[in-house]
Chain A
Amino acid sequence: MNESERRSAVEDRNRRLLRARDAMDRDFAKPLDVPGLARVALMSPSNFSRRFRETFGETPHRYLQRRRIERACAMLRDGDRTVTEIALAVGFDSFGTFSRTFSAVIGRSPTRFRAESTPLAAPVCFVKTWTRPSSFG
């Protein structure tokens, strides 16, 4: 394989991984899992997890978990849905798992986060991009 073919294989793989990441950003409320996302990227689950982390800096599992927490933060800030409703609306199947995960990532309970937050005056795409808690700051 020559240099330009190797590069275009990388670009093709990036594009497929991006398609799977976009699916998480779009369909976080649905019951997504790594095998299903790997199919979007046309890869085996283990190869998908490894390549995703190489490309985007964290595992797909973690990316999805943090997307769900970010969306939960937005709903806690902006709406009046109950915490239980929000847990289900962002794709967690139990209130307990949501509450534990939220507190571990954000450092405060959902209820306390809501009490201490104020709405953000920026388009949602910007908020989604810049407020998702990540593994890298």
Chain B
Amino acid sequence: MFTGISIHTVYVLDQEEAVDFYVGKLGFEVVEDVDLGFMRWLTVGLPGRSERRILLEVPGPPSHDEATAAQIRDLVTKGAMGAAAILTTDDCRADYERLRSAGVEFTEEPTEQPYGIDCALRDPFGNHLRITEVKAQAA
């Protein structure tokens, strides 16, 4: 039986810039950072929650031929890759204020939804992330 979801890939254009954003601004931490020579295995997760990670991967050879890598970069920068992650929080408005003052680009301000409060942002490459404060369920 499956026991969890551990890693998914988010394509980025530059791993250093990705670390600056995901770690420096959003507050993730680097879980694994191994230079394998042919690629840098770089994962980030929430502090203390490293069982669930995002692999920050740069499209390119030899995994992708140059033309395919260019297509992926095109889709990433057009915002066509779907949600990189939907993060949950205990205070959406506080996160919004903190990140906005750090210069993060928001595509939606905190908005009341039937399921709670959420807002949306982009990483520097065009990937879409959401932050959701889930409404407490009535007992």
Instruction: Select which of A3, A7, A18, A26 is within 8 A of B108 by beta carbon.
Output: A26
B127 to nearest A CB, angstroms? 11
Q: Which of B59-78 contact A (CB under 8 A)?
A: 66, 70, 73-74, 76-78
Please measure, in the bound complex, the distance between the C-alpha atom of A22 and the C-alpha atom of B120, giving whole angstroms.
Answer: 10
Please measure, in the bound complex, the distance between the C-alpha atom of A56 and the C-alpha atom of B126, giving whole angstroms.
Answer: 14
Contacts of B66 in A (CB 8 A): 3
Contacts of A3 in B (CB 8 A): 66
Chain B: interface residue total (CB-CB under 8 A):
24
Give the interface SS of chain A, mostly helix, strand, loop or mixed.
helix
Q: Which of A104-123 contact B (CB under 8 A)?
A: 123
Q: Who on chain A is nearest to B106 by CB? A: A26
Instruction: Select which of B70, B105, B130 is within 8 A of A19 by beta carbon.
Output: B105
A106 to nearest B CB, angstroms? 24
For the complex with contacts A14-B78, A26-B109, A56-B78, 5 further pairs of A-B residues with Cβ separation under 8 Å are A11-B13, A14-B126, A18-B122, A22-B79, A22-B107
